[in-house]
Chains A and B, each alone.
Chain A
Amino acid sequence: MTARAILPAKGAADHLTGTFWRRPQLLLLLLITPPLLWLGVVYLGSLAALLLQSFYSIDEFSGVVKEEFTLKTYAELFRAQNLDIIIRTVVMATAVTLACAILAFPIAYYAARYAKGPWKAAFYLGVMLPLWSSYLVKVYAWKLILAKEGILGWAAEGTGTGFIITGILSIPGMEGSSLSTSPFGTFLVFVYIWLPYMILPMQAALERVPNSMLEASADLGATRSQTFRTVILPLALPGVIAGSIFTFSLTLGDYIIPQIVGDSSRFIGLTVYQLQGTAGNTPLAAAFAVVPILIMLVYLALAKRAGAFDAL
């Protein structure tokens, strides 16, 4: 008996695979509909609702939200105390992002170019491990580390380097009774908490730079620093931008760290939390929430103009 050219379908799976083969769009549709619903309806929907809310205003006397379109709420953002919050948040987010980028680069570079086998595993574990424990536990741990009687102060005293902490605390804008009540403490904790989000995309980007590219640069006469500036950095830039989007926007929106570590000065996240909660001023909260979105859009547009995505 000779075998047939077409094998008999054995069950539902064979029929289903056949259907998908004949209509590839059907499979695509089935795969992307749930996430599209999630993104489109739940996420974009709430974003639209947020935008809508920001164009409403609150009646100053009754505290009732007036559902009429107005730019009055946005104008309130420009009041001195609100502008102060925005500027403080943006400065903090910028500082945190820069510090994360500088700290992350050598680690990511080592992991991408030199780490092999068990060292690579150790790298991933080391970077991811902090993400496995609760965010609050880590922040409180830092509060204790940075406190006046904390381990950092104790170590500084023991090694006679207490003057460094005192020096930092005497810088205008960094004042506090200890690092855990100084804005510098807030900064340190932000850098620690968001660092993995900078390292991982950076490492992925550096991983994609082939070794021959670096050899070609050296072969053509470039020194190490020239290769870094003209080849490695431009090629890793999409990863740096991706990482900086994480650290920047996470800092812009965070409302827990400034409450626990620092001098209790207000940041955008904390303000949104307070305005929509206790104050019941949803329109102003929404307007505040739009600020990080606008900042990120401007940032991405600038990055694109600077050619950050040319290597993609």
Chain B
Amino acid sequence: MTIAVEFANVSRHFGTVRAVDGVDLTIAEGSFFAMLGPSGSGKTTCLRLISGFEKPTGGQIRIFGEDVSETPPHLRNVNTVFQDYALFPHLNVRDNVAYGLMVKGMGRAARYRKAEEMLALVKLDGYGDRKPAQLSGGQRQRVALARALVNEPRVLLLDEPLGALDLKLREAMQDELKALQHKLGLTFVFVTHDQHEALSMADSLAVFNEGRIAQIGTPQDIYDRPATRFVADFVGSSNVLPPDLTRALGGPAEWASLRPEATRLAPTGPVSGTVIALRYLGSGTRVVIDAGGTEVAALVPAGQPVPAEGATTAIAFEPSALHLMGTT
């Protein structure tokens, strides 16, 4: 396995703010890697460290084995799809896509031919003459993608690329990005705050919290076996049970996570309390009960009876569903 991007104890401090703090990370070539975290967790700064718009205050970044500490952005063979797309408003779509080739000195005919190829790849054939202002959000996103890919980068960086799109378009673009990545066999590094997006698209992902990586692994690892309370809570809104409750349920005195979908409602069970909130999700209903001061949620699949708010009910689950996360 070739390593595309490697962080060795990388930090980026802004004065006293530790945006990125001692991050170690390896991204395999050809993988779809997601950086997931809430805003301000350091994921975007990490992406900007790879593209070169931020310089590390400590540690070393290597791209395909080469130390890039002294390499300016324009000499790095990586390209970025920006969050706001950053299309040049004074250039038409074709010139936007051909921009990278133009600044490298490629002739007009050759670069336009390649730009058209790229536009075809993102299904925007025939849009070359339009200005970015004449395109929809989804189309602009595709132009930004084509403009980044035309340079044939070794790593493609995507900064919340789907954030500005509506749900339907976002889901369609998720599938397309994934298909495109497979087709090109390129390394994609993707920043998002949306756990569903990260889980469904990435081969592996890093969960960021306060400038550090809380956990790194495959989507299954992260979802089924969260390493910390933060990961359990942030990825998939799991129940986080305090040590005394875990012990009351027959486990050791450790923090534990319990997925709502691994539970069912029962007349009696190890966790019981009053229903304090109901949230209808379409595919089911999330029922939150107050179990002696701890809120515990269960997912009731559609079609099954749902208790009324204020009713008393219990939550049952298989002992194996309880995932232990240590004492801290």
How far apart sit A234 and B72, CA to CA, in the bound complex (Å)?
Answer: 24
Contacts of A213 in B (CB 8 A): 86, 88
Q: Pick from A222-230, A241-249, A251-259 the stretch touching chain B.
A: A222-230
A208 shortest CB reach to chain B, Å:
10
B88 close to A215 (CB less than 8 A)? no
Contacts of B74 in A (CB 8 A): 218-223
Instruction: Tell me, yes or no, whether B100 is within 8 Å of chain A by CB.
Output: yes
A219 close to B51 (CB less than 8 A)? yes
Instruction: Tell me, yes or no, whether A216 is within 8 Å of chain B by CB.
Output: yes
How far apart sit A139 and B70, CA to CA, in the bound complex (Å)?
Answer: 51
How far apart sit A151 and B147, CA to CA, in the bound complex (Å)?
Answer: 57
Contacts of A220 in B (CB 8 A): 74, 79, 99-100, 103, 147-148, 151
Point out the residue from A217, A219, A221 that lies within 8 Å of B104, measured CB to CB.
A221
CB-contacts of B78-113 with A (<8 A): 78-80, 82-84, 86-90, 99-100, 102-104
Chain A residue nearest to B82 in the complex (CB): A212
B92 shortest CB reach to chain A, Å:
10
Contacts of B301 in A (CB 8 A): none
Chain B residue nearest to A220 in the complex (CB): B100
Chain A residue nearest to B51 in the complex (CB): A219
B103 shortest CB reach to chain A, Å:
4
A221 close to B82 (CB less than 8 A)? no
Task: From known contacts A221-B74, A221-B151, A311-B89, infer whether A216 and B103 are also in contact, taking CB-CB under 8 Å.
Answer: no
- Interface membership of chain B positions 263-275, coded 1 if the CB is closer than 8 angstroms to chain A and 0 otherwise: 0000000000000
A221 close to B90 (CB less than 8 A)? no
Instruction: Tell me, yes or no, whether A289 is within 8 Å of chain B by CB.
Output: no
Instruction: Tell me, yes or no, whether A118 is within 8 Å of chain B by CB.
Output: no
Q: How many residues of A contact B (CB 8 A)?
A: 20
Most buried by A among B79, B86, B100: B86
How far apart sit A221 and B148, CA to CA, in the bound complex (Å)?
Answer: 10
Contacts of A223 in B (CB 8 A): 74, 103
Instruction: Tell me, yes or no, whether B53 is within 8 Å of chain A by CB.
Output: yes
B80 close to A216 (CB less than 8 A)? yes
Contacts of B73 in A (CB 8 A): 215, 218-219
A217 close to B84 (CB less than 8 A)? no
Contacts of A226 in B (CB 8 A): 103
Chain B residue nearest to A212 in the complex (CB): B86
Instruction: Tell me, yes or no, whether A68 is within 8 Å of chain B by CB.
Output: no
Q: Chain B: interface residue count, which band?
A: 20 to 34
Chain A contact residues: helix, strand, loop or mixed: helix
Task: From known contacts A213-B86, A216-B86, infer whether A222 and B103 are also in contact, taking CB-CB under 8 Å.
Answer: yes
Instruction: Tell me, yes or no, whether A76 is within 8 Å of chain B by CB.
Output: no
Contacts of B86 in A (CB 8 A): 210, 212-213, 215-216
How far apart sit A19 and B103, CA to CA, in the bound complex (Å)?
Answer: 58
Instruction: Tell me, yes or no, whether A310 is within 8 Å of chain B by CB.
Output: yes
CB-contacts of A30-60 with B (<8 A): none
How far apart sit A151 and B189, CA to CA, in the bound complex (Å)?
Answer: 62
Task: From known contacts A221-B100, A221-B104, infer whether A216 and B82 are also in contact, taking CB-CB under 8 Å.
Answer: yes
Contacts of B83 in A (CB 8 A): 212
A215 close to B100 (CB less than 8 A)? no
A26 shortest CB reach to chain B, Å:
33
B90 close to A307 (CB less than 8 A)? yes
Contacts of A235 in B (CB 8 A): 88-90
Contacts of A291 in B (CB 8 A): none
How far apart sit A149 and B159, CA to CA, in the bound complex (Å)?
Answer: 63
- Interface membership of chain B positions 64-76, coded 1 if the CB is closer than 8 angstroms to chain A and 0 otherwise: 0000000011110
Contacts of A310 in B (CB 8 A): 90
Task: From known contacts A219-B73, A219-B74, A222-B74, infer whether A212 and B103 are also in contact, taking CB-CB under 8 Å.
Answer: no
How far apart sit A221 and B101, CA to CA, in the bound complex (Å)?
Answer: 8
B238 shortest CB reach to chain A, Å:
35
Contacts of A221 in B (CB 8 A): 74-75, 100, 103-104, 151
How far apart sit A287 and B176, CA to CA, in the bound complex (Å)?
Answer: 66
A245 shortest CB reach to chain B, Å:
20
How far apart sit A235 and B88, CA to CA, in the bound complex (Å)?
Answer: 9
CB-contacts of A154-180 with B (<8 A): none
How far apart sit A215 and B51, CA to CA, in the bound complex (Å)?
Answer: 10
A274 shortest CB reach to chain B, Å:
45
How far apart sit A218 and B86, CA to CA, in the bound complex (Å)?
Answer: 12
Q: What are 17 A-B pairs at a CB distance below 8 A? A: A210-B84, A210-B86, A212-B83, A215-B82, A215-B86, A216-B88, A217-B103, A218-B52, A219-B51, A219-B73, A220-B99, A221-B74, A226-B103, A230-B102, A235-B88, A310-B90, A311-B89
Given A210-B84, A220-B103, A222-B99, 8 more contacts at CB 8 Å? A213-B88, A216-B87, A217-B99, A218-B74, A219-B148, A220-B100, A221-B74, A235-B90
